[in-house]
Structure 1
Amino acid sequence: MYRIYLAADFDFGNHQRMIRTLLFLLSFLFLTEASAQFLVKGKVTDAETGDPIPFASVLLKGTTIGMNTDFEGNYSLSSQSLPDSILVSYIGYLTQSKALANTAEQTLNFQLRPSDFEMEAFVFESGENPAFDIIRKAVDRKKDFDKRSLNAYETKNYTKIEVDIDHVSEEFSQRKSVQKVTSVLDSIKQLTNDEGEKILPVFFSETLSKFYYRNNPELRKEIVEKSKVTGVGITDGSTTSQITGSVFQEYNFYKNWLNILEKDFVSPIADGWKAFYDYDLLDSVLVGQDSCYKLQVYPRREQDLAFSGTIWINKETYALKQVDLTIPKETNLNFVERIKIQQELVPTTAGPLIPSKSRILIKIGQVTPKTAGLLAKFYTSSDSVKLGEPEPTSFFNQAVELKPDFDQATDEFWRQNRQDPLSAEDLAVLQMVDTLKKIPIVRFYSEGLKFFATGYLKHGKIDVGPWPGFFNYNNVEGIRLGMGFRTNADFSKKWLLQGYLAYGFKDERFKYTASATRILDRAHWTTMSLTSQREIDQVGLEIASLEGNSIFLAASRFGTLRRPYITTNHRLNFQRELFKGLLFSADANVSQFDPLFDFYYLDKDTRDYRSRFETTEARFALRYGRDEIIIINDNERVSFGPSKWPIVQVNYARGLRWLGGDLTYDKLSFYLYQRLNMGMLGVSRYELDAGKVFGEVPYPILKNHLGNETLFYTSAAFNTMNFNEFASDQYVSLRYRHFFEGFLLNKIPAIKKLKWRAVANANVLFGSVQDKNISNVPNIDPEGNPLETFGRLDPTKPYVELGYGIENIFKFFRVDFFHRMTYLDSPEAKPFAVKISAQIIL
């Protein structure tokens, strides 16, 4: 309060001075009152996930004062007058308002709930949609801002991943095993969403790394400097740390297609944008220092693999400034209720854009009403961008490299080096995960799940398994029991020892496998291994050729075995990655073939019929995958497959009689595999296989083409061909598979709700056998009994089968129908076959 005292003795001059003083004081009071500031700040988050909502509109109601939240969802508004409420809105969420208190500074946080509201398209009576011209100019300038146009760059990245169990059903929570968990966690602060549902964190990781990119050839590498991983079932952070960094969390909207969870989604600024998207020009806004167009994007067809949401495009340059895009649950995906990608881009000194911050959310729904859902959150922040000369290609040999002390860092180090501090929710998540993974019932189930998925159960420095080899039953062995082991990285990071022993109660034979592998160099993956094996096998169904087809292999080894034999192998193998993507291997292999069926071949030197033979082989192979991503899983090399370029492999084998073998021959083969993105038509995969056998050999040495008499579908076989139906000494085959991803069935109203997807197959085989390899196989044995031989293809007539089918039936099952188009005159030919399979696909 200001008080003004007037003198009683009046003087005109003093009066003038007094008036000026009074006016000055009144002006001061007025200005002081007028310049009073009210500050309102807070954070806007998603009510279901707790994640920040960037770019949301915050407005002091009844004024023009407002702003958009930053990438962390924060806002701060000041005003000289205090309105009665504040309003927060964002597309795809319910608008929310809160009353303001009469205080100079206050904090108001908002949790917005997703809305089912969908914006209707504007109808333009004449002229073109004004958003189209903006998109057209943005597409025309893609090359100016696509980071792939840079020769090379590197960034310093911070990546954070959290996985939670959510949407816990009442039935699920009432299970005794679940109640044992919740009783332990009751003492910890429970994490809930805005609707009061509990969220149960099961995994949390942080990674500090350097990310390197080079063009021509396009290569990526991440060096993990520090990583902290905690989670249920996580016993060794080395493997997990390789897949939780930036190399697996990269999303570039300047590509036409973005691969997310093995599905290809079309970008809103793809070259063919008009065939997939509609757009609305919503506003012209200021983002930072840039004036931007704000556009709403949404798919033309709701079940297409496309995004809906908002993008911001710079008015001056037509570069992407921000994106906030969602893949809604109406999209033809399984289990996925929602995928959300938020990204903030900044220009480099050369012009192309680098994402400075990215946030990805993947929400997996309940598989059944009695289970729970899953929520995965990924956050990546990049800074310290450097442009320069690219590193040599040898630098990129290993896609992800761990520093020796990657898992050794104090809490103080993390506090000082995180690009963004952990929130109170993050700290609560860490505490809950650390407690959860120590609960005995949780450890029991997590170890059981790993055992089922990998086939091995870890017990200290030894892994016991594989469980599919514990029990078999067939007509040769009867009941077969087996047990095996392998050492893990806790035993040694230089040695891998494996063993397996089985016994058949009908044939009364032991079978075994024993191997020792020495890892000589992890950077240029170099190993030397020695293996000795005695096992029962089948002609054309050898274990070595069916690795990776475990279900088909298991089905083929139960029941009646086709042309079984005992094989004894001793193998010395060397392999080395010569440079990025090129793997060289060399083998020396001694093998013995002892048939358990009526088999003879003519030895031209002795003119005798023999039933068994031995081979000594020298083998060499080259395998090249230009953009294949490889990680080192403990003591194994694991491929995540190629993204664009094909996988090529060339094999050569030489049969050596002078080293103890009974046969001299040469075998040469070529293999090519590629995944093709066909845009809106779906995805194709093809395998080209060609080979030739030089020399005179018995037919088990030839290429015995893999048939399929089981009920189960496999892409490795000809599904209307019988086992051992055809063999060739020179051949070329093409197996082509196409997945329409809902392209056809999405247009049928009654079918599209089921989310079924059409698939197609075409398998073609050309093959032949030289006369000398036909004449050495007798039709009768030495005692005059007829012998079963092998079938041959007409060199001028291909074997052709065509197939079509439906996948995603009840989200798990697939049914294929195959028609055999040629070689129908055989009495055992199957002109039509139905195959089923089960798969977990998104």
Structure 2
Amino acid sequence: MLLVLFAGMTAGAVMAQSTVTTIKGTVTDATTKEALIGVSVFVPGTNLGTSTDYEGNYLIRTNQPIGKLQFSYLGYRTATVEVVPGQEQTQDVRLQTDAKQLSEVVVVGKKRKVKYSNKNNPAVDLIREIVDHKSENRPEAYAYVQYEQYDKTQMSLVNTPEKLKKNIFLRKYDFITSNLDTTVIAGKAILPFYMQEEITEQYYRKNPESRKTLVKAEKKVNFGEFVDNKGMMTYMQHMYQDVDIYDNNITILTNQFLSPIADMAPTFYKFYLKDTVTTDSGQQLAKLLFEPRNPSAFMFTGEMFVTLDGTFAVQRVDMEVSKGVSINWVRDLDIKLDFEKNSDGRYHLSKSELKADFGLTQNSDAGFYGERIVSYKNYVINEPQPVAFYEGEAVVKAADALAQDESYWQASRHDSLSEVELNTYANIDSLVNMKSFQRTMDWATALIAGYKRMGPNIEIGPLNTFYSFNPVEGFRLRFGGRTTTNFSKKYMLETYAAYGFKDEKWKYYLGGSYSLTDRSIWEFPVRAINASYQKDTNIPGQELQFVQEDNFLLSFKRGENDKWLYSETYNIDYLHEFENHFSYRVGFRNWKQSPAGSLEYLQVAEEGDVEALQMGSLTTSEASLELRWAPNEQFFQGKLYRTPIANRYPVFTLRATAGIKDLFDSQYEYQKVALNIYKRFYLSQLGYSDVVTEGGYTFGQVPFPLLTIHRANQTYSYQLQAYNLMNFLEFVSDQYASVHIDHSFNGFIFNKIPLLKKTKLREFVTFKALYGSVRNENMPQGNTDLLQFPTFEDGRQATYTLEKKPYMEASVGIGNIFNFFRIDVVKRLSYLDNPNVSELGIRGRFKFDF
């Protein structure tokens, strides 16, 4: 939400800071005058440094007192230049080759007219050696590893200083627009609006494998009640995940990239051996250049240095994502990895830098800049902790992690912050407390999350439910709201009232939640009691968000849609979540449902008698238990619900329900159990698949409204969890199994077609299958205690079972249209003779992703 708000804030001014020293320039070969790529530029005796880009340019900006700058490059003599502190200056440097260091040069040459081949290519032979030695060069090769990790993540607005200064949203906040950095992106300024830092101690045990993280200190910008601060930190870490060059696939910005030293790298990459050098210490290194065979594939372009002492370990990597790769809104993405030598001769990662420049277009001035820098030190090898230490929670946060003062951070940071970075914490804190900013965020929240504040304690919404329509109620108006955390963190009350102008009936809802922790009812891990009463309409089998079934966009539906319910529901439940993302929910519901529209509850009077008796309503009392385990789950907490962040870990959900006869007029006794498993499978260059499997069983004799009514979709939106060409109430089961597969090729096919690869479109295929049945005891024929299956007005059957064959549908889709829209053509593959069905349909959905 905050990123959307800040998207228009693209202007500021630069405050002169006499204590800041800025040095820029170009490094070239003294003889050939060619630009040198990847030259180490650093301040002697400090961790401050950078490296030259592909044009030999560098830039360093610091508020630390410095007097010299050194330039180091393999095969060249180290150069040192004098620096004038507190000034902006240009230092162009020409490096002399060092004949004593350069023991061998093997030039393969990257000639456009010569066809590239892996055969007899020394670069490919070297890559295969690196692949063969990967397991030996990873930290997992040790029995025990321990190290300290410092993590800094930043998000900033990007534009020219002049445009930032004139922006309508920012110009009244002088203290914000003064905090600009003009040294990161040439010709532009960045305005940091988010900063987070973390110092952790990492522990690894090989056998049995275990990882433990001790969070010693944590610091981040706090946006107050408008943003889920914990979720934002999680989302940033998800966007900028750890980069492990030894993994076959590297996940960045929710996309997977093939590592240049993946097992199959020679099949997808081109490699060139530029030279082989010997350092002062006698260490031989090979410099390799690499690039993807297909410039549009999810791979990297860059260079790496590799040891030639028999370990074939990576010493350094400098790589970027090519412009042809289909990543939404990303103009540049650069990664730098540095490795240091252990006492046993192996190399470990010492620093990782990931920097990304975002923009709506490649040529626009406005955008965002993201950066994550992680450094590692104090490695301890093969020194185990007590066995009990590795047990329990994988992440443990020290009690004073959030309470560390600035003196602690100054002493503990692996690298100092710039003045601009230091100011970000205080500036955003001041901004959040300003009334004008709070008003802006309030309206932004209303537009994005659907709730608008009416005073400090109450907010009205969801706004998209205030007006809707359906065949039973006709034109429907609704108004509701809830309390905020300013009213109470432990209590939340919610209500609404709605009126249908066709059925002329009032509907209403009243609910409340009580947190059993000192946090709000939304903050993970939740421990809360929820109770509610609702009297409203709903479609049988369509379990949407409990109080949002009248969303305006769901009003538009295809085909016949007049079999509804009037429901009166009392509900109470208790939710208990744990830090390891296991949770359980126990609850009780009393539900009275009455047919509405053309739906009727009909019983046969006696066996052999065709006379039908109409039942006015059906009442059930249910006790329920839900167990859920989502290991390593990540999510962003919104105003209405959590938005999960997909990763490679599965999610298990087990639900059990028991109907209790004669309790509060309950008419039936039964038991239900269902297991749902979700898993995303990453397939490297072929994209990824989201797979959902589910199975369920109903014990006891029940009428059709209490069977499993399979979730159908008659709207024009594509719903991942529903059957998009199945009609409402079309199929019921008391035992079933299903599988949903949604696969994204992520541009794998379109990127190979010249006319399509520039569009950055992405391909999707889906397949859904459902098999089920209804036991004889639950079939209406011959059972006078049961309700007859619904029919259409002309007498044709409307509800069926699935004994004959599974219900199946498939679709092909094109995604990333305008960077956020997907369209699917859906084909129904079975039960085509059922009345009023659609064999083919076009469905769309919005999806914001990189």
TM-score, length basis structure 1: 0.79
2 CA distance for matches of 1:678 and 1:654?
41
The aligned residue for residue 358 of structure 1 is 352
Question: How far did residue 582 of structure 1 move?
Answer: 3.7
2 CA distance for matches of 1:817 and 1:171?
44
Q: Indicate yes or no: 2:235 matched with 1:273.
A: no
Deviates more, 1:267-276 or 1:247-256: 247-256
Instruction: Specify which of 137, 140, 151 is matched with residue 129 of structure 2.
Output: 137
The aligned residue for residue 787 of structure 2 is 777
The aligned residue for residue 339 of structure 1 is 333
Question: How far did residue 133 of structure 1 move?
Answer: 1.5
Instruction: Specify which of 630, 654, 658 is matched with residue 658 of structure 2.
Output: 654
Contact 1:629–1:639 (CA under 8 A) maintained in structure 2: no
Q: Deviations over 1:61-110 (max 9, x none)?
A: 7999x99755xx41569xxxxxxxxxx98452355899x9x999445966
Q: Deviations over 1:312-360 (max 9, x none)?
A: 2122211122211111221122111122111223466788764321111
Cα separation, partners in 2 of 1:489 and 1:206, compared to 1, 3 Å? farther
1 CA distance for matches of 2:306 and 2:835?
67
Q: Which amino acid aligns with 2:320?
A: T
Task: Name the SS of the counterpart of 2:810 in structure 1.
Answer: strand
Q: Which amino acid aligns with 2:189?
A: K
Q: Deviations over 1:558-577 (max 9, x none)?
A: 67964322323333333445
**Structure 2 residue runs without a partner (length 5+):** 1-20, 61-68, 70-78, 93-108, 781-785
1 CA distance for matches of 2:32 and 2:363?
46
The aligned residue for residue 312 of structure 1 is 305
Q: Indicate yes or no: 2:533 matched with 1:533.
A: yes
Q: Deviations over 1:100-136 (max 9, x none)?
A: 9x99944596699xxxxx9766767996111112111
Give % identity.
23
The aligned residue for residue 553 of structure 2 is 555
Contact 1:211–1:247 (CA under 8 A) maintained in structure 2: no
Q: Indicate yes or no: 2:289 matched with 1:296.
A: yes
Cα separation, partners in 2 of 1:186 and 1:695, compared to 1, 3 Å? closer
The aligned residue for residue 83 of structure 1 is none
Cα separation, partners in 2 of 1:780 and 1:700, compared to 1, 3 Å? closer
Contact 2:148–2:376 (CA under 8 A) maintained in structure 1: yes
Instruction: Specify which of 502, 508, 513 is matched with residue 516 of structure 1.
Output: 513
1:311-710 maps to which residues of 2 (within 5 A)? 311-316=304-309, 317-346=311-340, 354-366=348-360, 372-386=366-380, 387-389=383-385, 397=393, 399=395, 402-427=397-422, 433=428, 442-456=437-451, 460=456, 465-477=461-473, 478-488=475-485, 491-492=488-489, 495-504=490-499, 506=501, 507-519=504-516, 525=525, 527-543=527-543, 545=544, 554-557=552-555, 562-576=562-576, 580-597=580-597, 598-602=599-603, 609-625=614-630, 627-630=631-634, 640=644, 643-660=647-664, 661-710=666-715
Cα separation, partners in 2 of 1:243 and 1:405, compared to 1, 3 Å? farther
Q: Indicate yes or no: 2:801 matched with 1:793.
A: yes
Q: Which amino acid aligns with 1:378?
A: R
Task: Name the SS of the counterpart of 1:596 in structure 2.
Answer: strand
Q: Deviations over 1:666-705 (max 9, x none)?
A: 1121212111112222211111121122222122211212
Deviates more, 1:632-641 or 1:202-211: 632-641
Q: Deviations over 1:168-224 (max 9, x none)?
A: 69999866445545x675666674656433333222233333344556566564525
2 CA distance for matches of 1:471 and 1:331?
42
Q: Which amino acid aligns with 2:527?
A: T
Question: How far did residue 420 of structure 1 move?
Answer: 0.9
The aligned residue for residue 26 of structure 1 is none
Deviates more, 1:505-514 or 1:600-609: 600-609
Q: Which amino acid aligns with 2:573?
A: N
Question: How far did residue 153 of structure 1 move?
Answer: 4.0
Deviates more, 1:151-160 or 1:165-174: 165-174
TM-score, length basis structure 2: 0.78
The aligned residue for residue 4 of structure 1 is none
Task: Name the SS of the counterpart of 1:796 in structure 2.
Answer: coil
Cα separation, partners in 2 of 1:285 and 1:551, compared to 1, 3 Å? farther
2 CA distance for matches of 1:489 and 1:404?
26
Task: Name the SS of the counterpart of 2:759 in structure 1.
Answer: coil
The aligned residue for residue 74 of structure 1 is 42
Instruction: Specify which of 198, 209, 213 is matched with residue 189 of structure 2.
Output: 198
Cα separation, partners in 2 of 1:366 and 1:528, compared to 1, 3 Å? closer
1 CA distance for matches of 2:346 and 2:575?
40
**Structure 1 residue runs without a partner (length 5+):** 1-41, 48-55, 78-87, 113-117
Q: Deviations over 1:563-604 (max 9, x none)?
A: 322323333333445784543332222222233234215499
2 CA distance for matches of 1:105 and 1:272?
47
Cα separation, partners in 2 of 1:126 and 1:554, compared to 1, 3 Å? closer
Q: Which amino acid aligns with 2:157?
A: I
Contact 1:696–1:773 (CA under 8 A) maintained in structure 2: yes
Q: Which amino acid aligns with 2:414?
A: Q
2 CA distance for matches of 1:711 and 1:57?
58
Cα separation, partners in 2 of 1:629 and 1:229, compared to 1, 3 Å? same
1:31-70 maps to which residues of 2 (within 5 A)? 70=40
Instruction: Specify which of 758, 779, 790 is matched with residue 753 of structure 1.
Output: 758
Contact 1:619–1:652 (CA under 8 A) maintained in structure 2: yes
Q: Which amino acid aligns with 1:519?
A: L
The aligned residue for residue 734 of structure 2 is 729
The aligned residue for residue 208 of structure 1 is 199
Contact 1:511–1:536 (CA under 8 A) maintained in structure 2: yes
Contact 1:205–1:244 (CA under 8 A) maintained in structure 2: no
Contact 1:58–1:69 (CA under 8 A) maintained in structure 2: no
Q: Which amino acid aligns with 2:601?
A: Y
Of structures 1 and 2, the larger Rg is shown by 1
CA RMSD of aligned residues (A): 4.5
Question: How far did residue 259 of structure 1 move?
Answer: 1.4
Cα separation, partners in 2 of 1:189 and 1:138, compared to 1, 3 Å? closer
Which structure ranks higher in relative contact order (CA pairs < 8 Å, sequence separation ≥ 6)?
A: 2
Cα separation, partners in 2 of 1:713 and 1:245, compared to 1, 3 Å? closer
Cα separation, partners in 2 of 1:220 and 1:739, compared to 1, 3 Å? farther
Question: How far did residue 304 of structure 1 move?
Answer: 0.6
Question: How far did residue 533 of structure 1 move?
Answer: 2.5
Deviates more, 1:134-143 or 1:579-588: 579-588
Question: How far did residue 442 of structure 1 move?
Answer: 4.8
Contact 1:302–1:331 (CA under 8 A) maintained in structure 2: yes
